Amino acid sequence: MSTHPARSLSRVLEDFGHTLLDLLCGDPDAAGEIGGVGIHDPYDEQHHPEHAIVLGVGVHGAEETARLLRYLAALGATVLVVRGPVDDADELEPVVNETGVALLALTRGASWAQLAAMLRTQLAEGDVGEGEEQTLGGVPSGDLFALANAIATLLDAPVTIEDRRSRVLACSVINIKPARVGGYLEARRIHDVARAHGVPVWCGGMLETGIGRAANVALAALPGFTLPGDTSGSHRYFATDVTDPFVLSDGHLDVPTGPGLGTEPLPDVLKEVTTSTERIAL
């Protein structure tokens, strides 16, 4: 649980830093309480909330940024966010120290509209970081996985959080295909990690015969697989399967209970489709 107040810059950086926002210059602890979110419009008179975090949409270059920092300081703003990357941050550090307005950079490719919505949602939540369960729009948001789940709930769509190198840091749902992740032991490990972070998973199939379908159905019976997967009846794909066919019953498949994979190949069918045999001495 965060120790920073919900309306502090430290908390904003804790929740959105590294993935959406970078602190270029300024002391987060000295910024004080953020009073709201404003959007800079150079063609209109500015009326930002007191101690606002201001989004400098379309602001580029050290000169323009420095001028805006001084202007916002006179208005009582707390933070300015500009589009990253910012190559002249060193030139701006003295201006940040002079004005007391912290300077942040929005990650390239991120949306201003999404950032504004997320900031406003967080700042509006009185119970975020206040000694109770952290929430975003009423949904728990204690770490990046929970944040992805919270945003997914608000958007009614799956969410993936990535770093600048497109490496996945967290997500709101995972599709586990055993054949693509290194087998069933690795699939089980992914399931365990996802379950520990409260991320729902579903089992992906690849038109397996009854042998592979048996293993997938057993995998999909693990407690973290809470979403429907690609585990339909094998009789839909094969006129004759190498095992007794898996058949849907009221939208469900029975989990095999036998030893090993839980099902046995049909010897005559297996012999008919076998193209070669190799024996390996143990």
- Is the pLDDT score of 134 beyond 70? no
Q: How confident is the model at residue 18 (pLDDT cuts 50, 70, 90)?
A: low
Q: How confident is the model at residue 125 (pLDDT cuts 50, 70, 90)?
A: low
For the record, the structure tokens of 277 come out as 């045999």
E strands in 128-263: 135-136, 139-140, 160-162, 168-171, 174-176, 201-203
Question: Cα–Cα distance between 19 and 25 in angstroms, integer?
Answer: 17
Residue 270's SS3 state is helix
Question: Cα–Cα distance between 220 and 262 in angstroms, integer?
Answer: 14
Higher pLDDT residue, 8 or 105? 105
pLDDT at 128: 36
Amino acid at 264: E
Query: Tens of pLDDT along 251-261?
Result: 888 888 888 88
E strands in 89-136: 102-106, 135-136
**Terminal Cα-to-Cα distance of the chain (whole angstroms):** 53
Query: Tens of pLDDT along 55-95?
Result: 998 888 899 999 999 999 998 899 999 998 888 888 999 99
Q: Which residues pair with 161 in a beta bridge?
A: 170
pLDDT at 84: 87
Query: Tens of pLDDT along 181-191?
Result: 889 999 999 99
pLDDT at 98: 92
pLDDT at 143: 67
Question: Cα–Cα distance between 46 and 36 in angstroms, integer?
Answer: 14
pLDDT at 32: 78
- Is the pLDDT score of 127 beyond 50? no
Higher pLDDT residue, 24 or 205? 24
pTM for the predicted model, two decimal places: 0.46
pLDDT at 69: 93
pLDDT at 129: 39
Q: Give the CA distances from residue 87 to residues 28, 33, 111, 139, 247, in Å, rounded to whole numbers and listed in that order.
A: 21, 28, 20, 37, 61
Burial 167-196 (b: 16+ CB within 10 A, else e): eeebbbbbebebeebeebeebeebbeebbe
Q: What is the DSSP letter of 157?
A: S
| Share above pLDDT 90 across residues of the chain, in percent, rounded to a whole number | 22
- Is the pLDDT score of 201 beyond 80? yes
pLDDT at 131: 45
Kindly state the greatest CA–CA separation across the chain. 86
**Domains of the chain with CATH codes:** 9-133 (3.40.1390.20), 174-273 (3.20.20.120)
Q: What is the DSSP letter of 97?
A: H
Q: How confident is the model at residue 164 (pLDDT cuts 50, 70, 90)?
A: low
- Rg (C-alpha) for the chain, rounded Å, is 27
